Amino acid sequence: MADKIRLGVILGGRSGEHEVSLMSARSVLSVLDLEKYEVTQIGIDHDGRWWSGEDVIGKFEDRMTGGLYRVFLLPEPGKTVLYRMDNLTKVTAAAELDVVFPVLHGTFCEDGTIQGFFEMADIAYVGAGVAGSSVGMDKGIFKDVMRAHSIPVVDWMVCTRKDVEGDIDAIVRQAEQLFPYPVFIKPANLGSSVGISKAWNRSDLLEGILDAARYDRRVLIEKGLNAREIEVSVLGNEHPRASMPGEIVPSDEFYSYKAKYIDGKSGLHIPAPISEELAEEACEYAIRTYKAIDCAGMARVDFLLDKDTGKMYLNEVNTIPGFTSISMYPKLWEASGLPYVELVDELIDLALDRKAERVKTKRTYGN
């Protein structure tokens, strides 16, 4: 056991993407080499409580915590111990951890919040840091950063939940002045198509704004395109590399939650049937995007290829992309010559490398 890497796999989360996280975690856990890793499963429930024990993933899938016990980490550097808490009074050490893999999606998971906690605890973790995670998560701020780096994005506007509650008609009028129908409405800080809708008229727009505002205090409205959906997987820290591009062919009107996870009818084209020039452009933009937000470990970079003009637009970046059996991120790497098992191993190695780089940073000033 002493020679194994002590790995904590964190799943679930206090997010609308909780169930997606479970699907991703199930896939990751299935390929971990137990000769190499000493694995501790840690589940975060919808209320934000942390649990561990035997078969956390199975119990969370069954929406139960019976037989599990409450756990917590302390946000302070030193030996990283996962503590067990019994009856809210007795505290004992449950496991020591060398690195954690947050297989988490959405708010409190992918937006820099839990990454900040890991930084405070000074533990190695898979994926982007605080800045890369938070900028990548907020679709409005992300578009501002991309414009600053001369990376083309679709026109957009952002409103807040308080704006919606105060005068939703004014928001609708502003959107109609800026964009022709159809338009897309999205929670600014969420993924997996949760809360996303496509509006063809004013009634759709009103309904879409109200729905998106349920999931985040910031709502993004953007111009709709007649577009193909192209995706590129990126892997690495300071010197990232890109996979070949792939194309999503949604079974729904767009790549909705249903099309992603429920009906199983969406198509994946790997490699994407696009010209060599467009493929190179997508990979170049993906690497530039990754570096622009100081991403690390992994990201899936999504593009919209306008069918009418042939122009490529950056849509968004996912700093903890889906890892389900049908997810594009691992599939693109597999097609590019990196099998799923080796991909997970490399991500853990990158986390440890990033931690070693952080250790070099001086934390005091003076002689």
Question: Higher model confidence: residue 142 or residue 267?
Answer: 142
**49-53, 76-80, 252-256: the lowest-pLDDT one:** 252-256
Fold of 156-223: Dna Ligase; domain 1 (3.30.1490)
- pLDDT above 60 for 1: no
pLDDT-derived band at 220, boundaries 50, 70, 90: very high
Amino acid 252: pLDDT:
61
Amino acid 290: pLDDT:
98
pLDDT-derived band at 109, boundaries 50, 70, 90: confident
- Output b/e per residue, 89-111; b: 16+ Cβ within 10 A: eeeeebbebbbbbbbbbbbbbbb
Closest CA to 347 of 302, 295, 285: 295
CA distance 104 to 338: 22
- pLDDT above 60 for 259: no
To which CATH superfamily is domain 136-152+226-357 assigned?
ATP-grasp fold, B domain (3.30.470.20)
Mean pLDDT of 202-212: 97
Write down the domain spans for the chain.
5-125, 136-152+226-357, 156-223
pLDDT-derived band at 350, boundaries 50, 70, 90: very high
Count Cα atoms within 13 angstroms, Cβ side, for 37.
Answer: 22
Q: What are the pLDDT digits (tens) for 269-321?
A: 999 999 999 999 999 999 999 999 999 999 999 999 999 999 999 999 999 99
Q: What percent of the chain has pLDDT over 70?
A: 95
pTM summary value: 0.92
CA distance 69 to 92: 11
Q: What are the pLDDT digits (tens) for 19-61?
A: 989 999 999 999 999 999 999 999 999 999 999 999 999 999 9
Amino acid 250: pLDDT:
75
Q: CB under 8 Å to 134, separation ≥6 — which residues?
A: 111, 112
Q: What are the pLDDT digits (tens) for 156-166?
A: 999 999 999 99
- pLDDT above 90 for 245: yes
- pLDDT above 60 for 261: no
- pLDDT above 80 for 88: no
Q: For the chain, what is the mean pLDDT?
A: 93
Amino acid 65: pLDDT:
94
Fold of 5-125: Rossmann fold (3.40.50)
For the purposes of burial, counting CB atoms within 10 Å of the CB of 177, is it exposed (0-12), middle (13-18) or buried (19 or more)?
exposed
Amino acid 253: pLDDT:
67
